[in-house]
Amino acid sequence: MRSRRQILTMLVVCMAMLGMCAVAVACPTCKDNMAHDPASANLVRGYAYSIMFMLSMPPLIFGSMCAYFYWEVRKATAKESQAPLPVGVKI
């Protein structure tokens, strides 16, 4: 069980992080100018799509590699089970 000091430390750290969220939202110039300017709507939309694209790539790549390795293991297992037994081996 965790001690009171560890729990208190984690609580203080979490509260400090929540308190700093407003500071880390965006720089004031970008936030104020782009939020209310219709001419920069496409730029903001482009930033949003690029962030979504960057965030989707690691799971996509990791998932593709896992699927490939799963497929290779299944293929090797199927090939091994269909291989003829050597002479003299009894089941």
The reported pLDDT for the residue numbered 31 is 61
Nearest Cα neighbor of 44 from 76, 52, 57 is: 52
The reported pLDDT for the residue numbered 67 is 96
Within a domain: 66: yes
Within a domain: 43: yes
Kindly report, residue by residue over 32-69, the tens digit of the pLDDT: 666 677 777 777 778 888 889 999 999 999 999 999 99
Domain count of the chain?
A: 1
Domain that holds residue 71: 33-81
If pLDDT is split at 50, 70 and 90, which confidence band does 21 have? low
CA distance 70 to 65: 9
Per-residue tokens: 36: 């209310």
Within a domain: 53: yes
